[in-house]
């Protein structure tokens, strides 16, 4: 039986594999149902658990955190949470390049 894609409503879902990543880091390939029209992929509960386990194993889980932007003189300060600093091996005192990516994102590039 063919299953219609719940996203586009046009394509059919076929079994395949998708490469998952988190924060730009590869987490490997997992079985998924992939739409032949829009390309949307759906992983099942089991694969989801494996992806989560892999993300935890490589230390990516929970690295995205809400922080507030503080004022410091004429500049603004964004705190880097301790877990993220550890993951990036930052100690403080390093130089970085700060630039916008559109109007909703700040990229901090480490040297």
Q: Which residues bind Zn ion (CB under 5 A)?
A: 5, 7-8, 11, 35, 37-38, 40
Nearest to 33 by CA among 55, 57, 1: 1
Tokens of 73: 């003189």
Nearer to Zn ion, 33 or 40 (CB): 40
Cβ distance to Zn ion smaller for residue 44 or 83: 44
How far apart CA 21 and CA 78 sit, in angstroms, is 25
Minimum CB separation of residue 107 from Zn ion in Å reads: 31
Return the number of the residue (13 or 55) whose C-beta is nearest Zn ion: 13
Minimum distance between the CB of residue 48 and Zn ion, rounded to whole angstroms? 19
Phi, psi of 15 (to 5 degrees): -70, 140
Kindly state the smallest distance separating residue 42's Cβ from Zn ion, in Å.
10
Q: Which is nearer to Zn ion, 33 or 52 (CB)?
A: 33
**Rounded least distance, CB 3 to Zn ion, Å:** 11
Contact of 108 with 100, CB cutoff 8 Å: no
The two tokens of residue 54 are 């892999």
Q: What are phi and psi of 52, to 5 degrees?
A: -65, -45
């Amino acid at each position: 039986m063919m299953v219609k894609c719940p996203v586009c409503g046009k394509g059919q879902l076929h079994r395949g594999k998708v490469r998952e990543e988190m924060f730009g880091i590869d987490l490997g390939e997992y079985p998924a149902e992939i739409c032949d029209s829009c390309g949307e992929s759906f992983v099942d509960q089991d694969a989801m658990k494996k992806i989560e386990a892999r993300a935890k194993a490589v230390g990516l889980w929970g690295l995205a955190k809400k922080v507030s932007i503080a004022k410091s003189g004429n500049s603004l300060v964004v705190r880097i949470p301790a877990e993220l600093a550890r993951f990036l091996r930052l100690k403080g005192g390093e130089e970085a390049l700060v630039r916008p990516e559109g109007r909703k994102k700040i990229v901090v590039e480490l040297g």
